[in-house]
Structure 1
Amino acid sequence: MDDDLIDEAGIPRSRYTRLPGKGFFYPDSLDEERAERLAKEAIEGSEAVVIADGDADGLACTAMIREAYDAALDVADFEAAIEARLAANDDEAGDEADGDAGEKEVDAPTAESAEADSTADAHARSPVGLVAAGPYSLDSSLERVLAYADDDVDLFVCDLCPDEYEWIAEPLEALAETTASIRWFDHHQWDDETAAAVRDLGVDLVVGESDEECTADVALRSLDHEFDDRWTELAAVTRDHDLWIKEDPRSDDLADYSYWAGGEEYATVVGAYGADLPETVAAFVADRRVEKEARIDAAVGRAVTHGVGEWTVAVTYGRCSQNEVAETLRGEGADAAVIVKPAGSASIRGSEDFRHAHEVAGKVNGGGHPQAAGCKPDIYDDMLDYAHHWTTEGQACKRVILAAFEAVAEEVAADEAADETTEAEATAAPDADE
């Protein structure tokens, strides 16, 4: 493929925001080879390994675990790398992490970029190895730890929840036999059977209330270490964004930086500075936000509203920051927002009047929280399907997600009707003492 076809330079924003990032066009087979190599280098010889979601919450947990093990990397190396990026006027804009899929739209790596980055081998430096994962790659991450970790390693899993126990059962059961310990910190909504199966293996599974704690809160109170106030503040600011409380402006900085930086960089910087990012990082985030805001405006401009049951659902398309887009659409009167991404996934965001996002996502190959969920409908068989997706702004994806909204609306209406019938029958029933 001609590199110019996927190079955003000189292409109108109205066109390139309809397409996935360059990483989408990097073959999975090569990406898997690279991921396997990086995981092997991070895991081999480590005292402990952390499998964590690559967002601000999962990486904050990683920073805490490294602090507890006295295994943090030198932040000065990363600050120098950031300054070099700024000096080079690197104007390639990133997207906000699609936390629902646990994946980032990143550019394919090049030998030149690796050689130019003095922190390129950072993943192999700490005695607490980091394996960034998403809910759909948890099984392969566990398999890599099983393949490359020393016996008696301490294993941590953070901010990840398996949809079903069966698809992680084999590697997790094997790891339960070989590791010194497995500790699992999370705040998502776990199925009772899955949680019981994990705990039956001897895994120390701690799940916080999903509407009260983020996983950083859970890790902070669960790790046997005396953390100072900086870490308590980091957990609070992480929670502010992760639970969409939005009372601390620093939480947006952390969320954006966790996406635009690599996992090693973010964990090291917040481990050193906490929620107050240093000046160099603040300049980097501000530079990236110019493009981010423009993409938000483009996505909001494409939104179309639909009436589904008693709800107003706004649906849009584009490469953008889904949380900010959803917040804007809610401000314009939507009860729920759907942001369909060029890569084929979609984010579903609710409100006080809509707490069924996870139910909608569950009907189209996804899941999540009542007010924040993600999915990727199983509708893409070949590149022609993706071509149709891009040229129609996700028409097929929008259609199946709206059908899921309709199905959930019918279920909610039926449940409400049943409750009213039960209440009426209870009211009409004669008093047993009469």
Structure 2
Amino acid sequence: MDFYAIVHNDFDGTASAAVYSRAVNSLPKKVWFTEPTKLHNLLAKLELRGVSNVMIADLGINASTFPSIVESLKRLVGEGAKVQWFDHHVWKEEWKSKLKEIGVEVYHDTSTCGAGVVHKYMNPNDDFSAKLASADCSVDIWLHDDPMGEKLRRVVEGNRDFSWKEKLIQTFYNGVLWNDEFQKILEDKIDEELRGYQRLKKHFKVIEVDGKKVAVAIRWKGAPDISYAGQYIMTRTGAAVFASANGKAISFRSNRYEVRKFATRLGGGGHPLAAGAGLKLPLIYRVLRRLGWVTPALNWVSNVVSNVIKEEGFTEYK
């Protein structure tokens, strides 16, 4: 079956495309890796060119771009496309209703990751897809209950080239979860991360909010990945929540408390234990950061994080 795949440009998007491919016994004719904020532009330019099936996975909806998305999908369905959308982010019921109204098949489930949704509804009896989805969900929604997830995430996201992700989709499609190439990549990434941990100290601080420790960081160049750094810093400091800013956005992580509401307060969203939002550093702090002076930016972000958490409060994830 010929189909186009439009997925998030991370491990979950890659795994979603692979699980779908196994379900329909065919690799995608073309894959687009994108972000929720860019999806409406991609759909507006999409031409079927003889392909009648389009799958979208691991891409949430932004309220501001939803009308444009509806118009583009309405056009594609009108041209004969079968559109299937698989997602696990938080949606409004009216979004699902509107998409179904124009003929889009919507598969939405917040209890799992994107690949988990595809697996559940497309090929629940495929053991390999179950293993891939388990590894993916472990790191994507911060369950950390499958060691393979920590390994595969490094392999998938360590190389940002889209052609690498396309190769991985084919590898997973062929039923290969791990091989010698992946092992070498993992070993190199671990070595790089271990060196990187030594540089973290000046990039984060620990504050106290409502009696709980919160670690706040300003993003650094290179390894370790922000997700692994978050786990490391929380373990070392006993922090209940980890927040990191890169100058344009902020991400929240926790192993115990719901952080999505912190991101939502700042106009973003995400998963209960892993979420993010836009947060632009004032110009003066961006300049100082480029000059190597991180403390002013770190203090500013810490103040934002403290205020948001005080406003929302801590809620244990169940």
Common fold, TM-score beyond 0.5?
A: yes
The aligned amino acid for 1:333 is G
Instruction: Say which of 390, 401, 408 aligns to 2:290.
Output: 390
Alignment map for 1:361-376 (pairs within 5 Å): 361-376=263-278
Corresponding residue number in structure 2 for 1:233: 131
Contact 1:313 1:337 in 2 (8 A): yes
Corresponding residue number in structure 2 for 1:57: 12
Corresponding residue number in structure 1 for 2:304: 403
Instruction: Say which of 321, 324, 329 aligns to 2:228.
Output: 324
**Partner Cα separation in structure 2 for residue 266 and residue 380 of structure 1:** 39
Deviation at 1:378, TM superposition (A): 3.8
Given the alignment of the two structures, is residue 254 of structure 1 paired with residue 152 of structure 2, yes or no?
yes
Corresponding residue number in structure 1 for 2:35: 134
TM-superposition CA deviations, 1:322-352 (whole Å, max 9, x none): 11111122222111111223x6333211231
TM-superposition CA deviations, 1:287-346 (whole Å, max 9, x none): 1321123223422553211122343211112134111111122222111111223x6333
Distance 1:238 1:402, change over 3 A: same
**Partner Cα separation in structure 2 for residue 195 and residue 380 of structure 1:** 37
Given the alignment of the two structures, is residue 161 of structure 1 paired with residue 60 of structure 2, yes or no?
yes
Distance 1:394 1:162, change over 3 A: farther
Q: Relative contact order, CA 8 A, sep 6+: which one is greater?
A: 1
The aligned amino acid for 2:128 is R
Distance 1:380 1:69, change over 3 A: farther
**Partner Cα separation in structure 2 for residue 333 and residue 65 of structure 1:** 40
Deviation at 1:226, TM superposition (A): 7.7
SS of residue matched to 2:238:
coil
Gaps (5+ residues) in structure 2?
Answer: none
Alignment map for 1:288-299 (pairs within 5 Å): 288-299=189-200
Contact 1:364 1:376 in 2 (8 A): yes
Deviation at 1:400, TM superposition (A): 4.8
Given the alignment of the two structures, is residue 243 of structure 1 paired with residue 141 of structure 2, yes or no?
yes
**Partner Cα separation in structure 1 for residue 61 and residue 307 of structure 2:** 26
Given the alignment of the two structures, is residue 344 of structure 1 paired with residue 244 of structure 2, yes or no?
no
SS of residue matched to 1:244:
coil
The aligned amino acid for 2:23 is A
**Partner Cα separation in structure 1 for residue 55 and residue 285 of structure 2:** 38
Distance 1:351 1:65, change over 3 A: closer
Alignment map for 1:195-210 (pairs within 5 Å): 195-209=96-110
**Partner Cα separation in structure 2 for residue 215 and residue 171 of structure 1:** 22
Q: Which structure's CA Rg is the greater one?
A: 1
Deviation at 1:257, TM superposition (A): 1.1
Gaps (5+ residues) in structure 1?
Answer: 1-45, 73-125, 416-434
Distance 1:299 1:412, change over 3 A: same
Deviation at 1:192, TM superposition (A): 2.4
Corresponding residue number in structure 2 for 1:216: 115
Distance 1:233 1:188, change over 3 A: same
Corresponding residue number in structure 2 for 1:308: 209
Given the alignment of the two structures, is residue 264 of structure 1 paired with residue 166 of structure 2, yes or no?
yes
Distance 1:175 1:300, change over 3 A: farther
**Partner Cα separation in structure 2 for residue 190 and residue 226 of structure 1:** 23
Instruction: Say which of 75, 78, 89 aligns to 1:188.
Output: 89
**Partner Cα separation in structure 2 for residue 398 and residue 208 of structure 1:** 38
Distance 1:47 1:322, change over 3 A: same
Deviation at 1:206, TM superposition (A): 1.1
TM-superposition CA deviations, 1:374-432 (whole Å, max 9, x none): 22314567xx774334334384476256425413422449x9xxxxxxxxxxxxxxxxx
Contact 2:85 2:107 in 1 (8 A): yes
TM-score by length of 2: 0.84
SS of residue matched to 1:289:
helix
**Partner Cα separation in structure 2 for residue 309 and residue 226 of structure 1:** 44
Query: How many residues are treated as equivalent by the alignment?
Result: 304
Distance 1:68 1:307, change over 3 A: same
Distance 1:394 1:173, change over 3 A: farther
Deviation at 1:133, TM superposition (A): 0.8
TM-score by length of 1: 0.63
SS of residue matched to 1:182:
strand
Corresponding residue number in structure 2 for 1:333: 238
TM-superposition CA deviations, 1:13-61 (whole Å, max 9, x none): xxxxxxxxxxxxxxxxxxxxxxxxxxxxxxxxx9211110122211111
**Partner Cα separation in structure 1 for residue 82 and residue 265 of structure 2:** 35
After TM superposition, the structure 1 stretch with the greater mean CA deviation from structure 2, 230-239 or 266-275, is 266-275
**Partner Cα separation in structure 2 for residue 365 and residue 163 of structure 1:** 10
